[in-house]
Amino acid sequence: MKKTILAILCLVFSLYFLTSCSKKDNSTPENQNKAITAKDLEPYYITSIRSNGTKKTLSVIYFTSADGQLNATWDKAGSRRVVPVTVTDNQFAFDEDKDGKYVYTFLLTRDNSGTLSIKEANYKDSTSLNASLDVAMINKVTDAPDFQSDNINPQIFTYTKSSDGDGVYVYFETESRWHIDDKHGSTPLYSYYAVAGGAGWKSEDPASKGQTIGVSVPDYNGNGPVMLIQSTADELESDHIHIAAKL
C-alpha cells in the first residue's frame, strides 16, 4: 500500500513538473534579456520634445512596414521625414536629414513582460551647442488615448493659455475636422489627418493660418491621459507646447 501511494505521488509530481516546464511564461528574465530588433518597434510610437536653447519642438516617430522593410516616420508641425529602421545593440537612431546634423538616439530596454521602454535618449544638433532632448516617451499605439470623434459627440481637450490664463478648448468633430474655442469665440472647422496609427494628428489647413501637430499620450509627468499640441495657427501660441487634458 505504501509503495502504491509513493508511486502515485511520484507520478503526480512528475506530471506537474512537466506541465510547468512546458508553459510559456512571458514574464521571465529570458524575455527581458532577448535582443531588441527593428520588428519589435512596430507596435510603438515615440513622442519627443527637443530644445535648441531658444525653441522647443514637439515631434512623433512611428513605424510602418512597406515591401518587407520597416520604416520610421518622423513628424512635426510642417515637416516629415521617413527612413529605414535599424536597431544595433538595442539602440535605435533617427537621422533627421540623413546627413548627421540632426540625430535622435534611443537606447531601448524591455521588462520581463516584453514591453519596451527608453533607457537613454539623446538629440544631437550640430548647428547648436545648446541642443537637448527634454522629453522622450515610448508607448504602444494601442495605449494612446483616442481623440477622434465617434460621429455623434465631439472629443474635447482643454488647456490654459499661458499668455493670459484663459481656457482654450480644442474640439475634434466628425469627418476629421477640428476647431478651437476660447474667449474670442469659436473658429471655423479645420481639416486634420491622423498620424502614428491614430496616436497623433496633423493639420495643414490654410484656413487655420498655420500648421499644427498633436500627440496623445497615456501619461505625461504623472498626469494623463493628455494631448501635447504645438501649432503656428493664429489662435494658438507657437512658442509653447500645450498640455491639453481630455474632458
Average predicted confidence (pLDDT) for the chain: 87
pLDDT at 30: 62
**Paired residues of 195 in beta bridges:** 200
Query: In angstroms, what is the C-alpha Rg of the chain?
Result: 24
pLDDT in tens, 45-59: 999 999 988 889 999
Check residues 2 and 192 and name the one with the higher pLDDT. Answer: 192
For residue 163, pLDDT beyond 90 = no
Q: Comparing C-alpha atoms, which of 175, 207, 166 is closest to residue 188? A: 207
pLDDT (mean) for 98-108 = 95
Contact present, 161 and 217 (Cβ < 8 Å) = no
Q: For residues 47 and 217, is the Cβ–Cβ distance under 8 A?
A: yes
- Distance from CA of residue 5 to its chain's centroid? 59
The predicted pLDDT at position 43 comes to 97
For strands 56-66 and 87-88, give the pairing: unpaired
Note the pLDDT of residue 29: 60
Residue with the bigger pLDDT between 237 and 181: it is 181
Between 3 and 127, residue with greater pLDDT: 127
Instruction: Give me the mean pLDDT over the 91-108 stretch.
Output: 94
**Which grid coordinates belong to 74?**
518622423
- 108 neighbors 117 (Cβ within 8 angstroms): yes
Q: Tell me the percentage of the chain whose pLDDT exceeds 90.
A: 69
Whether residue 61 contacts residue 73, with contact meaning beta carbons closer than 8 Å, is answered with yes
Question: Pairing relation of β-strands 116-125 and 44-51?
Answer: unpaired
Query: Would you state the pLDDT for residue 10?
Result: 46
Task: Give the residue among 110, 111, 175, 187 at the shortest CA–CA distance from 148.
Answer: 175
E strand or H helix that includes residue 15: helix 2-22
In this prediction the pTM is 0.86
Residue 14 confidence (pLDDT)? 47
What is the DSSP secondary structure assignment for residue 141, as one 8-state letter?
A: G
Mean pLDDT value across residues 26-30? 58
Domains of the chain, with CATH numbers? 38-141 (2.40.128), 155-246 (2.40.128)
- pLDDT band at 144, cuts 50/70/90? very high
State the DSSP H helix or E strand holding residue 21, giving kind and residue range, or none if neither: helix 2-22
Q: Cβ(206)–Cβ(116) under 8 Å? A: no
Q: Measured in Å, how far apart are the chain's first and last C-alpha atoms?
A: 71
- Percent of the chain exceeding pLDDT 70 equals 87
The single-letter code of the amino acid at 247 is L
